Amino acid sequence: MTRETISLVRWFGLVAGLVVAAGSALSAERPNILWITSEDNSPYLGCYGDPLAQTPNLDRLAAEGVRYRNAFANAPVCSSARTTLITGMYASSLGAHNHRSRVALPTGFKLYPEHLRAAGYYCTNNSKTDYNLANAGQPWDESSKRAHYKNRAPGQPFFAVFNLTTSHESQVAPKPGKTGFRVLPERIALPPYHPDTLEIRRDWANYYDQMTRLDEQIGELLAELERAGLADDTVVFYYGDHGGALPRGKRNLHDSGTRVPLIVRFPKPWAHLAPAPAGAWVDDLVSFVDLPVTVFSLGGVPIPAHYEGRPFLGPKKAPPREHVFLFRGRMDERYDMVRAVRDGQFRYVRNYSPHRPWGQHYSYPFQVLPSMRSWHAEFAAGRCKQVQARYWQPKPAEEFYEIGKDPFEVRNLIGQSPHAQRIAGLRAALRAEILATRDAGFLPEGMMTQLAGDQTIYDYTHGKDYPLERIVELADRASEGQPGNLPELLAALADPHPVLRYWAATGCLILRDQAAPGKAALLQRLNDDWADVRVVAAEAVAHLGEQAAAQRALDGVLRTGNLYEALAAQNALDFLRQAGHVSLARVQEMVRDLKFGEPADRIPKYFFSLP
């Protein structure tokens, strides 16, 4: 070996040593962070007080860490919740709140792994993405079923996500031939909203088995961290991606759909960052939008100005929240706009589609959940108690629940004078959240990209052409279902702004027969320039005796070539079919030849193949 070669080897060795030393120093200054996520589960854990749960690994993690009593997914479905996580913003601020949609991020808005990577973290995702984004790109160092923190550079700190699907809705039903359950079906204490059927009991019993299997997988991940010698350098988060998979869990804004388990364990070098001693409860409210900025706080990463969360751990920890903001839009193929706020004791809900039931016929859960089919069959046969039948009936405009006294949220206290001040306060808080975040959910989905034009939806809703204050005020009046609001609604039917006309027509639809004085004005809207307005006006006039005119208008919307306009029309047709205003054969004829490209393949096909 020549002297020059020896010198070169020594030089490369020195550089390599400096790189490793720099990486080690960086790792020593910042914790590794491991996120373990499970799908579709509420706090059905022993450490959360569930007597039927067998979850020893998570119980041990809770004993070594802290449990958050009030942690919430902002949306009760995976794609909308994950879009909130990956962007650090409420999906409703971006117009990405509708399940399995495709919405563009504004230029310069980076996803949280990009910020972590820029700060030196090795970021892996194993492996679900499911973002409602058209331009997410590849923000991870690795994102696949084989992605793992072990592939990082020596000494490099890591941020790693492991997503487990064992508790997903698709795993609730027992496999064919299964006969034995750890928890006998007859031992299940059913929530009051579920009728007592064998199918429901078997789904619950099997779900507890799935939770035990999930716990075993989490134990394997924690043991792997120990074997790698990394447990003392890693802050571990465990949380569910939204509420439970049993009917009235997922897709619903009650605690059963949004409240999740959240456990955080701090190793000794980072124990000073823990909010409470090991094994303790933390009552602070935590929202999914808070998780990315909390990771930034722990890792010493600057927080982007447009991120909407509040850090709840680390040097940048913010004061505790007074409430969390919750939202839902289209779930699968069904539209239903709901907004809510939840504080430590109460939930206030605003239903902007009170003419739709909580439990619409979503094709996917009806396919995979015997419990969903059984519940609906009991309702159709008239065998449900009132508390069980409510799920399949139109909703009130507002809901208010005292969680401590009514954990299943079945006693709506709206209008009760002892709570008037609290209701008014949360109603005002919800309005403030909607306005502060420039909530895009008041835009019908078919209008979004057309109104935005060359802008992103976020840019449009944060501009002067989105009169949100006027829209929210009218949407509130429309959803109240009060005949005294009809003059205001009829005046708005002629407003130059299509979103105001849409909400005016929606208010008339909610009024049904009580909107008869506005029939002529609604018939004019069947020729509106905007298809979403035509759809709602058509459904409204069908209830006023104009079925033929309604069908012609809806048939025209089905053929605009816009998936979301057509989807709105199909929803209207299905509810008119249920009301007896159009036959099943006619609906099948109207939708038979409809074909759409992507993203239609991401939406269940109930309407494309009606039974």
Query: Which residues carry out catalysis?
Result: 78
- Asked if 41 and 211 count as a contact pair (C-beta separation under 8 A), the reply is yes
Question: DSSP letters of 74-129?
Answer: SSSSHHHHHHHHHHTS-HHHHT--STT--BPPPTT---HHHHHHHTT-EEEEES--
Cis status of the peptide bond prior to 127, with omega within 30 of 0: yes
CA gap 262, 240 in Å, rounded: 7
How does DSSP assign 398-423, residue by residue? EEEEETTT-TT-----TT-GGGHHHH
d(CA 292, CA 166): 24
What order do you get walking across the sheet with 324-328 strand by strand? 324-328, 338-342, 346-351, 398-402
**Closest residue by Cα to residue 521 from 535, 511, 510, 508:** 508
- Reduced 3-state DSSP string for 171-226: HCCCCCCCCCCCCCHHHCCCCCCCCCCHHHHHHHHHHHHHHHHHHHHHHHHHHHHH
| Residues 136 and 162 sit within 8 Å (Cβ to Cβ) | no
Distance CA 274, CA 65 (A): 8
On whether the CB atoms of residues 584 and 577 are closer than 8 A, the answer is yes
Q: 176 burial class (0-12, 13-18, 19+ CB within 10 angstroms)?
A: exposed
Q: Which residue has the tokens 């709105």?
A: 568
For residue 140, the tally of other CB atoms under 10 A from its CB is 23
CA–chain centroid gap for 323, Å, is 17
Q: Which stretches within 30-54 are classed as H helix?
A: none
